[in-house]
């Protein structure tokens, strides 16, 4: 193996493998080290996202949504499926097949771009040297002109509810259940908790979600969060806010969770518990004390606005640095850093990173919320459009939800777009482009949208800002 590279990336998740590919595209000799091993013992590039996060969760969300719709909604369309049955093993096998295919795809991309993909662990030493320990092998020394740290994150464990890998699991464990629990307790009503709760609720579990905060989806626009909460309640998700879990007691059939809220103490009995209270950066053991890279009290690597660390020619991207823990945020940081290493001018607009929750209805937003603008004292105007008035959404039998556009009262520049409804994760892309190019509400109003499409809802919401909506009553 070559032991000297222009760029060595530690971590092959969405931030790391993208950085490696971009660096190789610039003609830089590149190696990428990752420790992940698949269930069959093979090196599996892609990090948590591909192996046990974004991709497998979306596969199960899609499968469980189809099952739910076949059970509940197909009759409205005149479709009779007879007696419906669930083959969870096949569903899980399909998920695993998708994961394997995509992870192999990264390996193929490494090969096509001349990247040395190395299975094992990497550790940063002083003077841009990397200690690489292959699986089952002895440590080797690699020299690099530049090192990119991209080791990702891992689930936070609650001291009062420790993981046992069977009854009490993290998000990865919740994606691998071999049977549908009758009663599922989920701690945390964030993105991961809502998505995993939705999967198993659709497949037949009685799901209770305990959220310590008093406000539902506090990071989203309040109007959107309230509409989403209303829809989840209609679906049967039992979301209890202000519920602070105090203790776990293991029982013969599962576990009992004790929690407190404003009404006092309570407990619930469940078969399994999913803890989804956040993630922490994976930096333990990554850095030699003399490597010169500063880390804060929470384990995040200190970086500047373009992801430079405190050590020369050492960079850090993705979940190990400040900002939202989102795969697409890390990927774009990886591209930026590789471009900078290659001598190009590069930057990233952190103000327009979209957030998406892949429940049904989906939730997505980009830019500022009303609350943020009020706090900043910014004058703004809003417009909304309900999917119930969208012909395309009604044809899809998905008329719940709305689109909300927020613009500056002074300049008409679009400041934020917030969506709860069908395919919100896809629709938000148009809004991201609009914010990147500092589009005005009028720009969006004058943009022609196909009919009938879901994107018309965004067009109508923009028209509504100036009380010009065509397919809704202007107030």
Q: How many helices, marked H, and strands, marked E, lie in the chain?
A: 13, 21
pLDDT in tens, 440-470: 999 999 999 999 999 999 999 999 999 999 9
Q: Looking at 31-45, 140-154, 315-329, 408-422, which range is the least confident one? A: 31-45
Mean pLDDT in residue range 79-97: 96
Q: How far apart are CA 114 and CA 99, in angstroms?
A: 23
Please say whether the beta carbons of 292 and 314 come within 8 A. yes
pLDDT confidence band for 475 (50 / 70 / 90): confident
Distance CA 305, CA 346 (A): 11
Residue 17 has pLDDT above 70, yes or no: yes
Q: How confident is the model at residue 98 (pLDDT cuts 50, 70, 90)?
A: very high
- H or E element in which residue 386 lies: strand 380-386
What is the model's pTM?
A: 0.96
pLDDT score of 1 more than 70: no
**pLDDT for the residue 262:** 95
Contact 33, 151 (CB under 8 A): no
pLDDT of 79 over the 90 cut? yes
Question: To the nearest whole number, what is the mean pLDDT of the chain?
Answer: 97
Q: What percentage of the chain exceeds 70 in pLDDT?
A: 100
- Neighbour count for residue 377 (Cβ, 10 Å): 6
pLDDT at 405 over 90: yes
Give the model's pLDDT for residue 334.
Answer: 98
CB 436 within 8 A of CB 370: no
According to the model, what pLDDT value does residue 229 have? 98
pLDDT of residue 116: 97
pLDDT band at 40 (very low <50, low <70, confident <90, very high): confident
Domains in the chain with CATH codes: 4-154+280-348 (3.50.50.60), 168-274 (3.50.50.60), 352-465 (3.30.390.30)
Instruction: Fill in the DSSP letter of residue 213.
Output: S
- Mean pLDDT over 384-412 rounds to 98
Strand partners, 255: 250, 270
Tell me the per-residue pLDDT of 43-58, one tens digit each, with 9 for 90 and over: 999 999 999 999 999 9
With a cut of 90, say whether residue 2 has pLDDT above it: no
The mean per-residue pLDDT over the stretch 129-150 comes to 97
* 103 closest CA partner among 30, 37, 150, 154: 37
List for the chain the helix, strand, coil content (%; round to 5). Answer: 35, 25, 40
Q: For residue 309, what are its two tokens? A: 């660390």
Residue 20 in contact with residue 12, Cβ under 8 Å?
Answer: yes
Active site residues: 451
pLDDT tens for residues 141-189? 999 999 999 999 999 999 999 999 999 999 999 999 999 999 999 999 9
Phi first, then psi: what are they for 120, rounded to 5°? 150, -160
Average pLDDT of the residues in 244-250: 97
């Amino acid at each position: 193996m070559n032991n000297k590279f222009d760029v060595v990336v530690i971590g092959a998740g969405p931030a790391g493998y993208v950085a490696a590919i971009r660096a190789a595209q610039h003609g830089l000799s590149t190696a990428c080290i990752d420790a992940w091993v698949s269930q069959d013992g093979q090196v599996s590039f892609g990090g948590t996202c591909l192996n046990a996060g974004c991709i497998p969760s979306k596969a199960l969300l899609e499968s469980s949504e189809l099952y739910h719709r076949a059970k509940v909604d197909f009759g409205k369309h005149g479709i009779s499926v007879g007696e419906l049955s669930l083959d969870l093993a096949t569903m899980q096998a399909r998920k695993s097949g998708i994961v394997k295919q995509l992870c192999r795809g990264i390996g193929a991309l490494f090969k096509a771009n001349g990247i040395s993909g190395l299975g094992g662990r990497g550790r940063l030493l002083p003077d841009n040297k990397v200690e690489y320990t292959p699986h089952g092998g002895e440590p080797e020394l690699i020299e690099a002109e530049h090192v990119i740290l991209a080791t990702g994150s891992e689930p936070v464990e609650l001291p009062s509810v420790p993981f046992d890998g069977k009854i009490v699991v993290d998000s990865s464990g919740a994606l691998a259940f071999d049977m549908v629990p009758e009663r599922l307790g989920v701690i945390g009503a964030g993105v991961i908790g809502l998505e995993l709760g939705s999967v198993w609720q659709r497949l037949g579990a009685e799901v209770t979600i305990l959220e310590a905060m008093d406000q539902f989806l506090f990071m989203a626009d309040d109007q959107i969060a309230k509409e989403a909460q209303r829809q989840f309640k209609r679906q049967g998700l039992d979301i209890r806010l202000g519920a602070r879990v105090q203790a776990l007691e293991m029982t013969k059939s599962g576990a009992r969770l004790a929690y407190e809220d404003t009404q006092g103490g309570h407990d619930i009995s469940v078969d399994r518990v999913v803890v989804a209270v956040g993630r922490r950066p994976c930096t333990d053991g990554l850095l030699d004390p003399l490597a010169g890279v500063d880390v804060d009290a929470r384990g995040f690597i200190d970086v500047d606005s373009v992801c430079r660390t405190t050590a020369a020619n050492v960079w850090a991207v993705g979940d190990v640095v400040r900002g939202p823990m989102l795969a697409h945020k890390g990927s774009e940081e990886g591209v930026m850093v590789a471009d900078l290493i290659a001598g190009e001018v590069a930057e990233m607009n952190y103000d327009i990173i979209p957030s998406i929750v892949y429940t049904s209805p989906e939730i997505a937003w980009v830019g500022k919320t009303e609350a943020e603008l009020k706090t900043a004292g910014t004058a703004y105007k809003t417009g909304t459009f309900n999917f119930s008035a969208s012909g395309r959404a009604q044809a899809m039998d998905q008329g719940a939800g709305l689109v909300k556009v927020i613009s500056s009262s002074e300049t008409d520049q679009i400041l934020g777009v917030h969506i709860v409804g069908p395919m919100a994760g896809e629709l938000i892309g148009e809004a991201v482009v609009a914010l990147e190019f500092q589009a005005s509400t009028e720009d969006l109003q004058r943009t022609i949208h196909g009919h009938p499409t879901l994107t018309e809802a965004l067009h109508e919401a923009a028209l509504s800002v100036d009380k010009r909506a065509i397919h809704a009553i202007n107030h």
